[in-house]
Structure 1
Amino acid sequence: TSLDYSSFTGRIAIGRLQRGLLKEGQQITLVKRNGTQVKSKIKELYTFEGLGRIKVDQVATGDICAVVGLEGFEIGDTIADFEAPQALKTIAIDEPTMSMLFTINDSPFFGQDGKYVTSRHIKERLEKELEKNLALRVEETDSADKFMVFGRGVLHLSVLIETMRREGYEVQIGQPQVIIKEIDGVKCEPVEHLTIDLPEEVSGKAVEMVAIRKGEMIGMESKGDRMICEFQIPSRGIIGLRNQLLTATAGEAIMAHRFLEYQPMKGDIPQRQNGSLVSMENGKAIPYSIDKLQERGRFFIDPGEDIYEGQVIGENSRGDDMTINVTKTKKLSNVRSAGADDKAKIVPAIKFSLEEALEYIQKDEYVEVTPKYIRLRKIYLKEVDRKRNK
């Protein structure tokens, strides 16, 4: 039912023994999903205790164990008797519903705080992840620096990205895209079964939010002072929903979703309305400039932070992108003016978590992920290139 990977022993099969005994060195038959049978031998057996594994000689019925030494097995295969093999019912693996573009970090700040920055490093790390991550798929693109990574949703892929950044990788991630299939000539998108558990008094707000995102309610049940609401919602509608729900319910909502099926496209889902504030220059963000530009929108950077041309440093209060210069210092003169000694009052910057950043960006933006920073940037850093590309 699960698998692990060790660089010493290779792939490790994990599952529960339904009947009989398993012994170290035992000859067995591996029954594949398609019914073919492969003779094999168990090298080592482990059981689980706490967070670790303990080596054992044999495993009894009902135990969950890890088996080392089998080659070429997949999830849903059966380890059966050597002479009279019988296959257990196979289990289905959810297919990926979302894709993201992983690319090398080519911003002006690349390599400043990460150890692994080249495309070879990223490719090897993604291949290693495939060994133990079931619902993950990786495809190469026409560029050697870019990889399409398919997963079960924003959370699934952001766990991988967070693990990579903690290991010292630097990557840039494109906007999450839902995988759309054509079934019998009709464009179809993945639909998920969504369950939200939240306080009764804010349940109306949740229903309204899901309805805007083309979700349909299929059930509502009250348990004490909480409501459990069930919906069918397109995977597109789930992108960005969790953060909005948590804000609306003061952090009380508990949300879970799983893939249901592909259904015909549900139409447009409202996206982010506001444009971005984009830096015009490389340099340090000056408090004086930020103070003077505050009515233009909300900032994502602190005063004194290093920024580069093309970095998204805030959200515009209007719908289009705007290029601004926050590296300008105050011009000093020897004449005192009336407003000379006004204090700069700067609103605290908005800091995104990794998931929030992935859900926030638009088509023409990347999230730059390094061990210490999460930055948003335009794909084309120079304004001339952005206009030409438009």
Structure 2
Amino acid sequence: KGVVDLITMKGIIWDDSTQGMTYQEVPIPADMVDEVNEWRQHLVEAVAEYDDKLLEKFFEDPNSITEAEMHEAIRKAVIDISIIPMMCGSSFKNKGVQTALDAICRYLPGPLDIESIKGTHPDTGAELERHADAKEPFAALAFKIMTDPFVGRLAFFRAYSGHLDAGSYVLNTRTGKKERISRIMQMHANKQNPIEFIEAGDIGAGVGFKDIKTGDTLCDEDHPIVLEAMTFPEPVIAIAVEPKTQADVDKMGLAIAKLVEEDPTLRVKTDEDTGQTILSGMGELHLEIIIDRLRREFKVEINQGAPQVAYKESLTKSVEHKEVYKKQTGGRGKFADIVFEIGPRELGPEDKPGLEFENAIVGGVIPREFIPAVQKGFESAMVNGPLAGYPIDSMKVRLFHGSYHDVDSDSLSFELAARIGFKEAARKCAPQLLEPIMGVEVISPDEYTGSVTGDLNRRRGIMKGMDTRGGAQVIKADVPLSELFGYVTDLRTITSGRASASLTFSHYAPVPRNLAEKVIEEVKGAAK
């Protein structure tokens, strides 16, 4: 029905007639007075422990502590992360929204409470900082791209410093190009209020830009800065989609393009063998929501295939290989000869996956202008691994010998030699299949712990530990994604709907040999 505010010592009741949009303050019900006093005492004690002046007042007379003093002390403690305020409410019934928003404004740190934001210079890499001050050069971070049916594309951004007028230009440090923000909107749920300018500390939405993506830094042209960019994990699950009718073909292409722009963790590609459109994302639920949005928001009717796991391949040993590419037709032919060592790459914590290419050619046996073509050939070949055509994440290639022909050799010949050489050599590098492993956290009542852990073990899960949280058991495990399709439904069945699970991508690990053979057979069978 309502809640009691322990600071003002009043009851709050929301009006059902306005669906919770209005509320009224009422005296505390008589049957709750004792309980309220007890919890008020706990609150005052917790706050007084943080502030010595309040502690003295608390021992003299707990009721002498004023509302303003309570708010001030709670704010300090929250900014210090010493206490976490809990609010009562129900978003479903639209109750408690106003009090939660008031608490956000009252207790959480404002732009002036935090230290200056740090960034780097895009050219020199030197560290720069910006303070929450309208007089400093403009710097903002785009954190969301959204497509609005009436306004078009909106870029939500948070201004960290400076002042930006509608209609002015900003520099996008990712592209190095200027962007014109023709209009600035202040967003209120699904309503937009046009505003003349935006200043440090504000959040707004820009309209009229050409190329802004999630995570881009927008700044003053004369004072460039790169704020901390967002890193997005690689997708781990994919589904094939195709339009139901010819009319849906163009609509589906446009709709997917808009969704990919909004969501950086969603990837799209076309399968060369089947011609299907493949959507890749972070999990079953993610792709279900994307499919639902295609149907509901974009009115596109589609057929979808079963989810597929995004496997990868890796090389486990190094081999040396000589590849000669020779083709003689009428006139000028093709010739390239390369000798290289190919094998696994050791990745450090800071290293990005990909190809580590080492040019160890001496004496000009391969001219310098052909070396980038060899590197390009290996990079493009990594997309199709030797086992089942899954991509290779990282590998190392050392090019150390070869030869060329004065007339017949060109860049394309060396690129093709690298591609063919990779296919031949990678098979000898003891390649193995890698599968995505998900970190699973299950919160379950005590009596179902045995059933839940047994089910996770059956799914090739490796138990990481157990904990207790609020009277429930928290079970943590690493489980291969291929074993987790439909897991949430199965978990509800096992626990009579009382357990919940969260799944996050953890890492890639080798697939057991017997299962790897099965996956490879299925892929090769489908290709035939």
Q: Aligning the two structures, in what range does the TM-score lie when normalised by the shorter sequence? A: 0.5 to 0.7
Distance in 1 of aligned mates of 2:158 and 2:229: 13
Which one-letter code corresponds to 1:148 in the other structure?
A: I
Structure 2 match to 1:126: 256
The structure carrying a bigger helix percent of its residues is: 2
Q: Does 1:65 find its partner at 2:207?
A: no
Q: Deviations over 1:71-120 (max 9, x none)?
A: 22222210112211111011101221111111244xxxxx7xxxx86434
Shift of 1:233: 1.9
Listed as ranges, the gaps of 5+ residues in structure 2 are 1-142, 316-430, 516-521
| Residue from 485, 491, 499 that aligns with 1:253 | 499
Q: Is the 8 A contact 1:119 1:145 kept in 2?
A: no
Q: Does 1:14 find its partner at 2:153?
A: no
Distance in 1 of aligned mates of 2:212 and 2:201: 21
| Residue from 258, 265, 284 that aligns with 1:135 | 265
Structure 2 match to 1:82: 221
User: In 2 relative to 1, CA 103–43 (structure 1 residues): closer, same or farther, beyond 3 Å?
Assistant: same
| Residue from 244, 250, 267 that aligns with 2:490 | 244
Distance in 2 of aligned mates of 1:92 and 1:15: 17
Which one-letter code corresponds to 1:14 in the other structure?
A: F
The count of aligned residue pairs is 261
Distance in 2 of aligned mates of 1:58 and 1:179: 45
Larger Rg: 2
| Residue from 2, 21, 31 that aligns with 2:173 | 31
Structure 1 match to 2:352: none
| Residue from 457, 468, 486 that aligns with 1:211 | 457
Distance in 1 of aligned mates of 2:238 and 2:185: 35
Distance in 2 of aligned mates of 1:244 and 1:258: 18
Q: Is the 8 A contact 1:117 1:171 kept in 2?
A: no
User: In 2 relative to 1, CA 236–143 (structure 1 residues): closer, same or farther, beyond 3 Å?
Assistant: closer
Shift of 1:130: 2.3
| Residue from 147, 150, 154 that aligns with 2:280 | 150
Structure 1 match to 2:241: 102
Q: Deviations over 1:226-255 (max 9, x none)?
A: 122222222222211110001111212222
Structure 2 match to 1:339: none
* Other structure's SS at 1:15 match: strand
% identical aligned pairs: 26
Structure 1 match to 2:232: 93
Whose RCO is larger (CA < 8 A, sep 6+)?
1
Q: Is the 8 A contact 2:145 2:155 kept in 1?
A: yes
User: In 2 relative to 1, CA 195–38 (structure 1 residues): closer, same or farther, beyond 3 Å?
Assistant: same
Which one-letter code corresponds to 1:80 in the other structure?
A: C
Structure 2 match to 1:303: none
Q: What is the TM-score with the length of structure 2 in the denominator?
A: 0.45
Distance in 1 of aligned mates of 2:207 and 2:251: 27
Distance in 1 of aligned mates of 2:180 and 2:231: 26
Distance in 1 of aligned mates of 2:273 and 2:512: 33
User: In 2 relative to 1, CA 65–118 (structure 1 residues): closer, same or farther, beyond 3 Å?
Assistant: closer
Distance in 1 of aligned mates of 2:478 and 2:281: 20
Query: 1:362-373 counterparts in 2 under 5 A?
Result: none
User: In 2 relative to 1, CA 100–37 (structure 1 residues): closer, same or farther, beyond 3 Å?
Assistant: same
* Other structure's SS at 1:131 match: helix
User: In 2 relative to 1, CA 118–8 (structure 1 residues): closer, same or farther, beyond 3 Å?
Assistant: closer
* Other structure's SS at 1:203 match: helix
- What CA RMSD, in Å, does the superposition of the two structures yield over aligned residues? 2.9
Q: Does 1:230 find its partner at 2:360?
A: no
Q: Is the 8 A contact 2:213 2:261 kept in 1?
A: no
Which one-letter code corresponds to 1:217 in the other structure?
A: M
* Other structure's SS at 1:233 match: strand
Listed as ranges, the gaps of 5+ residues in structure 1 are 106-110, 270-362, 364-388
Q: Is the 8 A contact 1:17 1:62 kept in 2?
A: yes
Distance in 1 of aligned mates of 2:187 and 2:514: 48
